[in-house]
Amino acid sequence: MKYFVTVNGKDHEVELTERLGQLEISVDGASMDLSVADVDGLGQFAVVVDRRAYGVSIEGDTHDGAVCIAGSRYAFEIEDERERAANAAARARGGKGGVVKAVMPGVVVTLLVEVGAEVEEDQPMLILEAMKMQNEIKSPIAGTVEAIFVEAGQAVEGGAKLVSIKAPAEEA
């Protein structure tokens, strides 16, 4: 799986691949020999990178936090491929209404809104199951559900129209 990691404002692409029970990692295209051991279950880890050992403390959550290594603090943000695609679509709309599309193929498990419903930004609108994981598809803006293009149980392709949202400014 590919992750997009920003550390102290600098972007990196991290790819994790499992092969024969071993985890392979590459950062910005360069392979790394990495092992991690949880020290105390409270965010303290022993990390070995290319035969160099580090004591690492992790604060925050998997999306937004900080890592402390030898007294130096590094702020980080992480997005996986699906989150990056969904967030890019929301950023491209720039707060305007429009069609929310599936970022990957899947099956619509549940519809959580109906036509005419008022939604808030980041409010879940439907559940899409993809790769055996259930993903909440959230509204990128506050507005009104203008149309729903899918129904529960329906299989959809990546890029398929799911829901259309009308922004408040567009409603006048």
CATH number at residue 19: 3.30.700.30
Asked if residue 101 and residue 167 are part of one domain, the reply reads: yes
Quick check: is 89 in a domain?
Answer: no
For the segment 27-86, what is each residue's pLDDT rounded down to a tens digit? 999 999 888 899 998 889 999 988 999 999 988 776 678 889 988 888 888 888 777 766
- Of 80, 114, 136, the one marking the end of a domain is 80
Residue 21 has pLDDT above 90, yes or no: no
φ/ψ bin of 48: left (φ > 0), alpha (ψ from -120 to 50), beta (otherwise) = beta
Asked if residue 143 and residue 100 are part of one domain, the reply reads: yes
| Cα 82–chain centre separation | 5
CATH number at residue 137: 2.40.50.100
Domain span at residue 159 reads 94-171
pTM above 0.75, yes or no: no
For the segment 119-171, what is each residue's pLDDT rounded down to a tens digit? 998 899 999 888 778 888 888 889 999 999 999 999 998 778 899 998 886 54
Quick check: is 130 in a domain?
Answer: yes
Residues sharing a CB contact under 8 Å with residue 148, sequence separation 6 or more, in sequence order: 111, 113, 114, 115, 162, 163, 164
Asked if residue 105 and residue 69 are part of one domain, the reply reads: no
Asked if residue 70 and residue 6 are part of one domain, the reply reads: yes
Q: How many domains does the chain have?
A: 2
Q: From the CB of residue 171, how many other CB atoms can be counted at a distance below 10 Å?
A: 10
Quick check: is 23 in a domain?
Answer: yes
Quick check: is 22 in a domain?
Answer: yes
Quick check: is 85 in a domain?
Answer: no
Quick check: is 127 in a domain?
Answer: yes
CB contact at 8 A, 82 and 88: no
